Amino acid sequence: MRITLTILLLSALFLVGCADDSSLLTSPEAQITQQSTSPNWVKLPSDIRRGPSVETLFSTEKFITGENGGIIRLDVVIPRPGNQLGDFEIHVKVQVQDHSFPDQEQRLFTIALDPEYSLLYISPSPNTLEKQLIVDFKIEGIDVSEIDTDIFGFIYVDDNDQILETENQVLQLNSNADWIKIKDAEIIVPTYETSGGARYGFTR
């Protein structure tokens, strides 16, 4: 498992880019280890749970054929005038690679965001696929001050509550612009049967 972790850690790491990006630093090799306890997920702002139905606002679905694969996107912007963290935004892209399941089949893929935590539910479970899912996930307008940068990570938890590896990912936290993101996280297909969707999220 290989992860590039970009965090604010001025005393220990080196700067990336120009002075305007001084909050973005990089650590060469960070590891996520398997845990037996429940993950400590990053919480979402409480004010986004007011108003329209979160279940409707934070979910999307799309039919995809096995031969061509496809991309499912979920983009949400919630204006928060006067909030020091700015508007709340989520941007998700899930790529289903071509030939991940029988070419002539058409399957309905669903993405849903947990209303309380930075946690995605993606179904069907990747154990039904022959190739890895590739996930991009960015959250803007979030308080990152309580995130422990030493253990900040992105993990995949199956239906049996086992934490599985992701690969080739770029993990970032920007304390000046108040966002976190993961790019190109490849979800390893488990070799055993699970019953439904899986959870993917940021831990602190």
Position with higher pLDDT, 16 vs 108 = 108
Give the pLDDT confidence score for residue 26 in this predicted structure: 35
* 12 has pLDDT over 80: no
Give the pLDDT confidence score for residue 167 in this predicted structure: 79
Q: What pLDDT band is residue 82 in, cutting at 50, 70 and 90?
A: very high
Q: 138: helix, coil or strand? A: strand
* 187 has pLDDT over 90: no
**3-state helix vs strand vs coil in the chain, percent to 5:** 5, 45, 50
Percentage of the chain with pLDDT > 90?
A: 47
Give the pLDDT confidence score for residue 163 in this predicted structure: 81
Q: Is 131 exposed, middle or buried (0-12, 13-18, 19+ CB in 10 A)?
A: middle
Give the pLDDT confidence score for residue 124 in this predicted structure: 81
Q: How many CB atoms lie within 10 A of CB 147?
A: 21
Give the pLDDT confidence score for residue 90 in this predicted structure: 95
Give the pLDDT confidence score for residue 144 in this predicted structure: 93
How do residues 124-139 score in pLDDT, each as one tens digit? 876 778 898 999 999 9
Q: What pLDDT band is residue 196 in, cutting at 50, 70 and 90?
A: low
Amino acid in the structure at residue 199: R
How do residues 84-127 score in pLDDT, each as one tens digit? 999 999 999 999 999 999 999 999 999 999 988 999 988 887 67
Contacts of 195 (CB under 8 A, 6+ apart): 125, 159
Give the pLDDT confidence score for residue 139 in this predicted structure: 97
Q: 36: helix, coil or strand? A: coil
Phi-psi group of 108: left, alpha or beta (phi > 0 → left; psi -120 to 50 → alpha; rest → beta): beta
* 3 has pLDDT over 60: no
Q: Which of 135, 187, 201, 191 is nearest to 160 (CA)?
A: 191
How do residues 138-178 score in pLDDT, each as one tens digit? 999 999 998 998 889 998 887 777 787 677 789 999 999 99
* DSSP conformation class of 54: H
Supply φ then ψ for residue 33, to 5 degrees: -105, 155
